[in-house]
Structure 1
Amino acid sequence: MTKVLAIAATVFLGASYPMHAAANTVSFNFNGSGVSGNVVVTYGAATDAKYPEAFEVTGIGGSFSDSNNGLNLVNAPILGLVPINHATPEPANLLAPNDFSRFFVANGTDHGFLSYDNLFWPGGSPQTASDYPFHGGFLDIYGLLFDIGDGKVVNLWSDGGFDGNGPGPLTYGVAVATADTALDYVFMGVDAALPEPSSYALVLAGLGLLGYSARRRKQS
């Protein structure tokens, strides 16, 4: 039993500092149509005011690559999130999250902006636009907006599942832009791997196994 407790203490010391941050960290990668990336996001207890199942992302890291349109971006570091600005959605869009935001782009986009909300949906996103039924990704159709330097931002979102009106085979999209112009736009064709379990969850699972082992040893 003493040996089991020592192992448990070692697990906590090695993996739980800071425990709160570790409990809310997920990583994933995406790839397709000339773009790819490895992303680590962190989030706390705060959720979108309209959707309590959507957690507000508080930090981001990783790298991004884009070989389209002569960009030649190779493992560009992800420097941080573009802050949300609580823009007003179209009047007919009654399903947009409270954190719906816009990044205005002077040239090259259909509407003159990229929409984003920096929300993470562990259970899969519901429909979040009145005129767009597809949903289900761990990002919604607005997605994350992050900075890669030199005035460039990257928008990564989920197009949802194209199987009827709900979850199905999921696909993601990527846009790259500056405030002056759109540099790349990949709608669909980007695959994103499911987020890895948080280290806190792994610690809890490991401690559960240790506890089970201790009970077995005691009973035997």
Structure 2
Amino acid sequence: MCYFFKEILSLFSIHLAADNLHYLQSFSQAQLIHYRKGLEMKKLIGLVTLFTLAMPLQSMAAAVSVDAKLNSTSGGSGASVSVFSGNSFSVTVGPLDLWSAGAFPRWSNANGIDGPDLLATGLPDTNGDNPGVSAGTIIGSDIFGNWTQGGLNAPFGSLVGSFDNGVSFFNIGTNYVGIAASNILNLYYFDSNNGDNIGSIIANVSAVPEPETYVMLLAGLGLLGFSASRRKQGT
């Protein structure tokens, strides 16, 4: 992003390359000025266009399926998704999207098996890959407590993330916003034994554009308008 901004600012101090001088010697002074302005305008338009096309990538979202058995911290591998290192990102999971460390009451959402909880509705989980749970069914239990692994202490069944391929973890749950430590985020089911785990959840991962991204775009568009105005006045 900084390169783009510097390129825009440098357009107002561009000098013609030496290998173009011979070709331009036959130009009048007015033609030469017009030619240089045309080159600068084309370059500026190109840069702003490329930057604008790149903007959707900064806000690209991905829906990642995280399986309680296959993507467990106790024997599986992470469900990988690309993010932008050094930039903000968010993860959201539906509160009724359920997975399990086994039979009832070990069902939970991405916040983990954190004490008994009454399921408020009789609808199936929003992911649709698990059986419906009757209204009033108790999920979760105080007897499970927390699990500690990779420097993290969190409830069993929590959605957790890692930027070092499962060496260390951080808690995500149903809602999380943070700064990406690398370009690859791995998502896991937090558990000590994945033998009877079932179900999966859908994690919606979105990049959050930095404020300076929009500032640079506005600056580029402003300089484009300024250059167009000057060019019009000079003709």
Relative contact order, CA 8 A, sep 6+: which one is greater? 2
**Who wins on radius of gyration, i.e. which is larger?**
2
TM over 0.5: no
Structure having the larger proportion of residues in strand: 1
TM-score, length basis structure 2:
0.29
Structure having the larger proportion of residues in helix: 2
